[in-house]
Structure 1
Amino acid sequence: AAQEQANRLNLIAEERNESFLQTYGGKISSEWLFPKVMQIAEEAPDIYDAAAEIMEAADWIVYMLCGNRKRNNCTAGYKAIWNKKSGYPSDDFLTSLHPKLKHIVREKLTEDIYSVGEKAGGLTEEMAGKTGLLAGTAVAVANVDAHVSVPAVGITEPGKMLMIMGTSTCHMLLGEDVRMVPGMCGVVEDGILPGYVGYEAGQSCVGDHFQWLIQHFVPEAYMKEAEAEEISIFELLSRKADRLHIGESGLLALDWWNGNRSTLVDADLTGMMLGMTLATKPEDIYRALVEATAYGTRIIIETFRQSGVPIEELYAAGGIAEKNPFIMQIYADVTNMEIKISGSPQAPALGSAIFGALAAGSVNGGYDHIEEAVAHMGKIKDQTYKPIPENVALYDQLYAEYKELYTYFGKQNNVMKRLKKLKNIQSVSFDTGKAMA
């Protein structure tokens, strides 16, 4: 909803040659804090004025648990343009976004930021009663669900990318130094693990694609077939799609049903399906969407490598990685990388427990160093997904076609944005007409 504000922020930052922009891949996402704050200030100024603080939900939860307001460096760094060395953007820049934002840092945020892994406080008596835990139990500084999953799969060093795959996908990676990677969501010192810079990229629509297809385009006959076989409709579609040879559907999709987070950083882009005929079936579309999301991940991996950030191993966590071998094999084939799977079906919860143990320290039964905590608590499954050479060769051909469409519709032809603008105008006109009637 804040894409208009994000566009304006990015334009102003470019004109002013703001150095922070490159650490976010050249663009600040509409999903991040300042575009959203701009939108509030413009569309609901009374709410902005009344807000004592603007706080990430993760920090608010920690505040509720232990009574201490300790904002974490992960969300501050990735979502709020905060830097460990230079802090937030200048008051002058923030004023250029909107006059109300001139003093937002000291009025509604804070420059008092704490690192992930630190202790925020102890569990209050009230929350101990609600959770069944002991009062005083260590509460770690807040973290983001994707970032906190990295230690859960045993990653404590660079070169290993983790995909957290669900409705969307986040790609997490450790590095030794800051590199400028086009379209990344951000690079933050100590943002994932202490002692390393943490890179983030992502795809804003993955599992949501598949749910959309099932909700709107899967015929009743398929639903009955799944019911008769006592399997989920996802499993039925996966079985049918798995019987198709690579390229047999004749389809190629752009996975932008919810915009593009990386590497184009543009929420106004939309999805596309090329090659449909009267013979196209739901499983053809399903497979094409799965393949498109895998191509999108490959774009991200290649962009990091081309920017000097090595990716030598690939890991996956989340519902899709846990439940769908069909999808994971396609990802292995498209990326030509073996994929290791989280040993826990709830990687963010396990990662949170690891940071909780770190916050507690050895004196309270936890650990004093993240590597020690990960060695005892992180885990992956014995099963992996290995690329199949003949599949890799075929997907290389399709990926080349995907890249052409990616560049054309993502950078050269704005037809998607023109259509979206017309749609929005017509929607407003229709709603206004109904209100008048």
Structure 2
Amino acid sequence: MTAAAVLGVDIGSSSSKGVLVSLDGAVLAQVQRDHDLDRPVPGHVEMDAQIWWAEFTSMTAELLARHPIEVIAVGVSGMGPCVLLVDDDDVPVRPAILYGVDTRALDEITGLTDDFGEAAIVARCGSALSTQAVGPKLAWLARHEPADFARARRLFMPSSWLVRRLTGRYVLDHHSASQSTPLYDAGAARWFEPWWQQICPQLRAPELLWSDQVGGRISAAAAAATGLPAGIPVIAGTIDAWAEAVSVGALGIGDLMLMYGSTMFLINTVDRPVSAPPLWATVGVTQGSRNLAAGMATSGSITAWLRELFGRVDYAHLLSEAGRSPAGANGLLMLPYFAGERTPIADPMARGLIAGLTLSHTRGDLYRAALEATAMGVRHNVDVMAAAGGRIDRAVAVGGGTQGGLWAQIVCDVTGLPQELRETSVGASYGAAFLAAGAVVDPTIDHWNPVASVIRPNAEMRPGYDDLYHLYTEARGATLELGHSLSRRQIETAAARRTSDPRGVHV
């Protein structure tokens, strides 16, 4: 039998990644394309969707050139839920609006909640409206960009856009649909026509598939553009965090996935529908599965920001310096709300805080304080999950932030949760490849990607971190109004700068 492989591609917030994987799970080659997001005004986070296809084709060409092999299936995933609208000819009418880090639709969240009723939305969709939801962003476009909105005919996210370009099929996976609140009925597992017609009547609803189902097959045009064989299957795919959970086998009842990336994401698999308005209740990637999810607006993006301020010092060096700073970062406390916060406080107007600074603090102290701030946010989300009825029997860590071990160890010490690390931590692209493999063979993730180690909490650290968490909670309440006031000033300042500069300003 000729050697064969599957291709997995993920379109992320800061980069796109592609990986070739053998049918027994071995990584044959991987590639990455870094990109920037557009932030035209405070609260708006966008991206040119043409980049998604350009990066897919360039990565595929590089992978096949570096490792010529027969690709027999393709998996895709991407950040989400996003809003990419295209016209009748599949030309984007404007840049794609990103997931919960884009906070433009606050008025529309209030308006749609008033129209439909919060209780009715939660009962039907599983989650209340938030900056993560698709519906309010569509309503924002209808109000603020009516000409572009009127031309729109189809709705895509990064994974479904790649499926469209590769196969010509217009599909979306059920999980992504379940984050398109209030357009999807989670109990019935279908679009809810009355609310769809009220919010976006001119849009054609995509066909719904489960993430591991075949979304289509490579067309002749896509084969010519990518070098992939025509006719091979492309799975429907899903949102990147759920593909990350697939990549490390965190899909069992009681599993918690912790994704260490630009943002921190948590997915708990539950045995029944659980309603927790501060969090997101969704359907899973496979039929019948249910999740309770949480997501912070910033985590790795704070460490990247600090690295820029420090002159682009190597991450390994910064981790070493942070490791020499003691627990508590020599008396520093950080709130990680540098782009507002998603769960569990759902406050896009929240702002970051670094408290306790003195002239004796080092960059290692600051870097450790950022890692500890993320850990405090994880603990806050885990506590809310548990109170809502989630059950955590096992935690599995994945993502670039697990490298070096310090960050994951701090989260262990703050939360008290041991964390499994798998042999392969490639992430969402590897999870997409695994889903693709399921279309042609019958793989198991424990065979593909077995547990390599377990990070365990240091009991000696817990009392000090309990005290710090108490201060974290106090600081959040004490600075809430101050953060909102400063947020309003930032918006006003940016608006004034846009008035004086017709080209606009990026912040």
* 1:163-199 deviation line (CA, Å, top 9, x unaligned): 1211112111211111122421x2223x233322122
- Of 199, 208, 211 in structure 1, the residue corresponding to residue 304 of structure 2 is 211
- 1:83-108 CA-partner distances (Å, limit 9, x unpaired): 244544564x67xxxxxx73625x31
Tell me by how many angstroms 1:265 deviates. 1.5
Q: Residues 127 and 258 of structure 1: is their aligned pair in 2 closer, same or farther, counting only changes over 3 Å?
A: same
Partner in structure 1 of residue 99 of structure 2: none
Trace 1:187-206 onto structure 2 (pairs within 5 A): 187-189=281-283, 191-206=284-299
Conserved in 2, the CA contact under 8 Å of 1:66 and 1:123? yes
Amino acid paired to 1:124 = S
Closer, same or farther in 2 for the Cα pair 1:25/1:407, shift >3 Å?
farther
Give the whole-Å Cα distance in 1 for the aligned partners of 2:450 and 2:374: 23
Q: Is 1:102 paired with 2:198?
A: yes
Distance (whole Å) between structure 1 residues aligned to residue 276 and residue 124 of structure 2: 8
Q: Does 1:310 align with 2:391?
A: yes
> Using a 3 Å threshold, how does the CA distance of structure 1 residues 329 and 103 change in structure 2: closer, same or farther?
closer
1:251 aligned to 324, 332, 336, which one? 332
Q: Could you tell me whether the CA contact under 8 Å between 1:253 and 1:271 is conserved in 2?
A: yes
SS, match of residue 102 in structure 1? helix
Structure 1 residues 179 and 376 mapped into 2: Cα distance closer, same or farther (>3 Å)? same
Distance change >3 Å, CA 215–CA 50, structure 1 → 2: same
> Closer, same or farther in 2 for the Cα pair 1:384/1:250, shift >3 Å?
same
Is 1:297 the equivalent of 2:378?
yes
What is the rounded CA distance, in whole Å, between the counterparts of 1:299 and 1:325 in structure 2? 21
Correspondent of 1:134 among 213, 229, 248: 229
Q: CA deviation at 1:298?
A: 0.8
1:114 corresponds to which letter in structure 2? L
Out of 13, 21, 39, the residue aligned to residue 113 of structure 2 is 13
User: What is the alpha-carbon distance in structure 1 between the residues aligned to residue 259 and residue 378 of structure 2?
Assistant: 11
- Distance in 2 separating the partners of 1:188 and 1:25: 7
Counterparts of 1:407 and 1:88, CA distance in 2:
39
**How far has the Cα of 1:79 moved from its partner?**
3.1
Query: 1:214, 1:392 → 2: CA distance?
Result: 28
Residues 294 and 7 of structure 1, relative CA distance in 2, 3 Å threshold: farther
Q: Distance in 1 between matches of 2:495 and 2:288?
A: 50
- TM normalised by structure 1 equals 0.84
- Give the deviation of 1:76 after TM superposition: 0.9
Equivalent position to 1:327, from 359, 382, 407: 407
CA deviation map 1:29-65 (0-9, x unaligned): 3243222222222222111111122222221210111
The CA distance in 1 between the partners of 2:255 and 2:400, in whole Å, is: 20
Q: 1:322-359 deviations in whole A, cap 9, x for unaligned?
A: x231112111111111111232232212211221122x
> For residues 75 and 248 of structure 1, what CA distance do their matches in structure 2 show?
39
The alpha-carbon distance between structure 1 residues 197 and 172, as it changes in their structure 2 partners (threshold 3 A), is same
The SS at the match of 1:188 is strand
- Aligned-residue Cα RMSD (Å) equals 2.5
Quick check: 1:154–1:375 contact (8 Å CA) kept in 2?
Answer: yes
Change (3 A) 1:147 1:266: same
Code of the aligned partner of 2:441? G
Q: Give 1:434 deviation, angstroms.
A: 5.3
Equivalent pairs, count: 400
Partner of 1:227: none
Residue in 1 aligned with 2:276?
181
Q: Which amino acid aligns with 1:313?
A: R
For residue 493 of structure 2, what is the amino acid of its counterpart? Q
Q: Which runs of 5+ in 1 are unaligned?
A: 95-100, 224-231
Distance 2:186 2:122 in 1: 15
SS of the residue corresponding to residue 239 of structure 2 reads: coil
Give the distance between the partners of 2:265 and 2:124, measured in 1 at CA: 17
**Structure 1 CA distance for aligned equivalents of residues 495 and 350 of structure 2:** 20
Shift in alpha-carbon separation, 1:103–1:398, aligned structure 2, 3 A: closer
Q: Is the 8 A contact 1:149 1:347 kept in 2?
A: yes
Quote the residue 1:415 is aligned against: 482
2: CA distance between counterparts of 1:238 and 1:132?
40
Contact 2:104 2:137 in 1 (8 A): no
> Aligned with 2:407: secondary structure?
helix
The alignment status of 1:395 with 2:465, answered yes or no, reads: yes
Q: Flag the 1:142–1:248 CA change in 2: closer, same or farther, 3 A.
A: closer
- Matched residue, 1:264: 345
Deviates more, 1:396-405 or 1:1-10: 1-10
Question: What's the CA shift string for 1:386-434, capped at 9, x where partnerless?
Answer: 111101221111112112223444xxx4221222112222332244245
1:27 and 1:103, CA in 2 relative to 1: closer, same or farther beyond 3 A? closer
Give unpaired runs (5+ residues) of structure 2: 1-43, 45-101
Check the 8 A contact 1:156/1:193 in 2, yes or no: no
Amino acid of the structure 1 residue aligned with 2:161: W
AA matched with 2:117: N
Which structure 2 residues correspond to residues 20-419 of structure 1 after superposition, within 5 A? 20-21=121-122, 27-81=128-182, 82-86=184-188, 87-88=190-191, 91=194, 102=198, 104-105=200-201, 107-110=202-205, 112-184=207-279, 186-189=280-283, 191-216=284-309, 218=310, 233-321=314-402, 323-358=403-438, 360=439, 365-367=440-442, 373-377=444-448, 379-409=449-479, 413-419=480-486
Structure 1 partner of 2:67 = none
Offset, 1:162: 0.7
AA aligned opposite 2:281: V
Change (3 A) 1:357 1:414: same
**Percent identity of the aligned residues?**
21
Partner Cα separation in structure 2 for residue 104 and residue 248 of structure 1: 49
- Corresponding residue number in structure 2 for 1:97: none
Confirm or deny: 8 A CA contact 2:135 2:199 kept in the other structure: no
- Compute the TM-score of the two structures, normalised by the length of structure 2: 0.73
- Evaluate the alpha carbon distance shift between residue 155 and residue 103 of structure 1 in structure 2; reply closer, same or farther with a 3 A threshold: closer
CA distance in 2 between counterparts of 1:68 and 1:121 reads: 6
Shift of 1:435: 5.8
**Counterpart in the other structure of 1:226:** none
